[in-house]
């Protein structure tokens, strides 16, 4: 790469070979769907890149957009013939994690956005089968227009791909198992590095029918997990379980008064979740920690111990506020969810001073007017773009998101550690607390805003790398990383002299011996690039 300009050809590929490959790709998909011009290729940059304008920013040399599995197979064969590195995207909406830009600069983006068919929606068996270009908006509209009594689960920005988000192990807002997007998938079709096609689970049977989306395992090893956060194949179809529309929904608000109340609160909520009484996404928030900075709060945060529980309780008293709050939402028959909330109140009522307040009740289906007025649409399986209203004044952000166990003690310790890192780095704290995305773990969102100022972005990158190291050292593994930091993240998963990465590289060599698929994704480099980390 020269300066800030895209590479004209992939590394190590001669102009003559590249021109021949581009001509053959055009024969496969049509000349209108092979892109090399600078204006179009600029759209394949990372819109939120922390390396924007830097020498190290990642660029693609070209892009190709097929519409069928057979076209994908032919593209893979051409790439093997000319040693063209491909970088697969579903719709390229992976904002805060690298967008559509390749990990390995100069790769040709394999853009699957035109593979956008909703192949099947079965209301009785509550599943959908889709291609990579299908967005949450697409599937939602399909279901809504046909009056199908099923809900999708979507992340905050609804324009992304179901398949892309699931392969990144993303999550949404409705009850489990549906909000765990990879956990709620059932069956996939994959094009391998040699152009061969396989189907996982029951899809490997010649006449699997709806069993492909009903039973995830089939016989023998379960291969699906190999294709999440990896570069072993190109997923071209994927099934998802969908949530039957509930009769009603209701909420209950919880407020706990003292700093250390989070310990029994988390313990009780966790057990209620394991028992199936609580099955919603809930966020643990602190009006005290999230209040505006003042001299007294700053002094507590600067203390070596981060301030004692008694001191924080005294500070909360000076603000006239409680320390912790969350809201639970229940879904199902009204008499059942009312009983669930009553049981929760009986359990949490043993915490001294806790406030438990009945909330709203909603009945389904919602009218179009009700949907337009929703304050938290994703909680009801309705995709939107409202999350971007919080990005005013920035050019994007990074998300460093460690996973922590359901332990109040662990959350308090992590909060102190991460607050210290932000303050030491001189980066404004946009630290979230904890959300119950998954069955047995919290995610602690840590946003780092990006700007057009290179010095500020350098501080953001340094903090991001520091958060990766600190999290790994303490066993609070970050589960997903921006493409520019995948090597650093995977280096923290280092047990037994990086046995996991050695295993990953063995699989890479077997499944993609020419190393043409998405080089560098999650630190998995083909043999000829290991050590270069280009």
Q: What is the DSSP string of 101-120?
A: --SSTTPEEEE-TT---EEE
Residue range 11-20, pLDDT digits in tens:
999 999 999 9
Q: What is each CA distance from 469 to 255, 441, 486, in whole angstroms? A: 34, 20, 12
Same-domain pairing of 200 and 256:
no
- Of the chain, the percentage scoring pLDDT greater than 70 comes to 96
| pLDDT (mean) for 253-273 | 98
Same-domain pairing of 130 and 59:
no
Same-domain pairing of 307 and 424:
yes
Same-domain pairing of 211 and 252:
no
Residue 386 has pLDDT above 60, yes or no: yes
| pLDDT (mean) for 396-415 | 92
Strand stretches in 382-493, DSSP E: 397-400, 403-405, 430-431, 434-435, 441-443, 446-449
Residue range 7-59, pLDDT digits in tens:
679 999 999 999 999 999 999 999 999 999 999 999 999 988 899 888 899 99
Q: Among all chains, which residue has been given the structure tokens 């953001």?
A: 460
Residue 98 has pLDDT above 90, yes or no: no
Asked if residue 495 lies in contact with residue 502, where contact means CB atoms within 8 angstroms, the answer is: no
Distance in angstroms (rounded) separating the CA atoms of residues 91 and 121: 21
Same-domain pairing of 139 and 15:
no
Per-residue pLDDT, 8 = 79
Per-residue pLDDT, 4 = 47
Per-residue pLDDT, 486 = 96
- The domain that holds 331 is classified in CATH as 3.40.462.10
* Boundary residue ending a domain (218, 244, 270): 244
Distance in angstroms (rounded) separating the CA atoms of residues 363 and 453: 48
**Which residues form the domain of 503?**
1-114+483-534
Residue 82 has pLDDT above 60, yes or no: yes
| pLDDT (mean) for 382-407 | 80
Catalytic residue annotation: 97, 479-480
Q: Read off the pLDDT band of 304 (50, 70, 90).
A: confident
- According to the per-residue pLDDT averaged within each range, which of 65-69, 156-160, 388-392 is highest? 65-69
- The domain that holds 63 is classified in CATH as 3.30.43.10
Asked if residue 60 lies in contact with residue 101, where contact means CB atoms within 8 angstroms, the answer is: yes
Per-residue pLDDT, 387 = 73
Per-residue pLDDT, 392 = 54
Per-residue pLDDT, 97 = 85
Mean pLDDT over each residue of the chain, to the nearest integer: 93
C-alpha count within 13 angstroms, C-beta hemisphere, residue 455: 1
Residue 405 forms beta bridges with which residues? 441
Residue 5 has pLDDT above 70, yes or no: no
Same-domain pairing of 298 and 237:
no
- Lowest-pLDDT choice from 46-60, 214-228, 301-315, 363-377: 46-60
Residue range 166-207, pLDDT digits in tens:
999 999 999 999 999 999 999 999 999 999 999 999 999 999
Rg for the chain, CA atoms, rounded: 24
Number of domains forming the structure of the chain:
3
């Amino acid at each position: 790469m020269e300066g800030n300009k895209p590479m004209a050809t992939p590394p190590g590929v001669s102009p003559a070979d590249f021109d021949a490959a581009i001509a053959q790709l055009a024969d496969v998909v049509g000349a209108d769907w092979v892109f090399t011009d600078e204006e179009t290729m600029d759209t394949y940059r990372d819109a939120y890149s922390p390396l924007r304008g830097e020498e190290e920013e990642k660029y693609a040399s070209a892009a190709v957009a097929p519409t069928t599995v057979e076209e994908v197979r032919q593209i893979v064969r051409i790439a093997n013939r000319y040693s063209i590195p491909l970088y697969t995207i579903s719709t390229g909406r992976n904002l805060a994690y690298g967008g559509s830009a390749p990990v390995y600069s100069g790769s040709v983006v394999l853009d699957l956005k035109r593979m956008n068919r909703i192949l099947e929606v079965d209301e009785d068996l509550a599943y959908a089968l889709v291609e990579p270009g299908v967005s949450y908006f697409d599937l939602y509209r399909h279901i809504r227009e046909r009056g199908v009594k099923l809900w999708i689960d979507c992340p905050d920005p609804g324009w992304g791909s179901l398949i892309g988000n699931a392969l990144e192990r993303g999550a949404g807002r409705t009850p489990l198992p549906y909000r765990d997007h990879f956990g709620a998938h059932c069956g996939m079709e994959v094009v391998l590095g040699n152009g061969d096609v396989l189907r996982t689970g029951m899809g490997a049977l010649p006449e699997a029918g709806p069993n492909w989306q009903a039973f995830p395992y089939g016989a023998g090893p379960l291969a699906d997990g190999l294709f999440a956060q990896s570069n072993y194949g190109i997923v071209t179809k994927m099934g998802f379980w969908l949530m039957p529309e509930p009769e009603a929904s209701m909420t209950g608000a919880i407020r706990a008064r003292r700093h250390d109340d989070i310990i029994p609160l988390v313990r009780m909520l966790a057990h209620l979740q394991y028992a199936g009484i609580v099955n919603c996404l809930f966020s643990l928030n602190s009006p005290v920690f999230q209040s505006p900075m003042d001299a007294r709060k700053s002094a507590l945060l600067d203390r070596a111990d981060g301030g004692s529980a008694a001191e924080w309780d005294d500070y909360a008293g000076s603000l006239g506020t409680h320390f912790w709050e969350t809201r639970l939402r229940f879904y199902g028959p009204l008499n059942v969810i009312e009983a669930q909330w009553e049981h929760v109140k009986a359990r949490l009522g043993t915490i001294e001073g806790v406030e438990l307040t009945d909330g709203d009740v909603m009945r389904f289906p919602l009218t179009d007017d009700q949907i337009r007025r929703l304050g938290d649409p994703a909680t009801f399986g309705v995709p939107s773009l409202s999350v971007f209203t919080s990005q005013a004044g920035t050019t994007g952000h990074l998300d460093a998101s460690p996973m922590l166990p359901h332990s109040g003690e662990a959350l308090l310790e992590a909060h102190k550690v991460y607050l210290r890192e932000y303050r030491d780095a001189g980066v404004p704290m946009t630290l979230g607390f904890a959300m119950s995305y998954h069955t047995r773990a919290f995610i602690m969102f840590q946003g780092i805003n990006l700007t057009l100022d290179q010095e500020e972005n350098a501080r953001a990158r340094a903090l991001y790398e520091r958060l990766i190291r600190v999290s790994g050292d303490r066993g609070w593994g970050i589960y997903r990383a921006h493409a520019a930091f995948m090597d650093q993240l995977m280096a923290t998963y280092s047990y037994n002299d990086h046995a996991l990465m050695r295993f990953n590289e063995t699989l890479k060599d077997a499944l993609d011996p020419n190393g043409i698929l998405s080089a560098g994704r999650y630190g998995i480099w083909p043999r000829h690039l290991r050590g270069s980390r280009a």
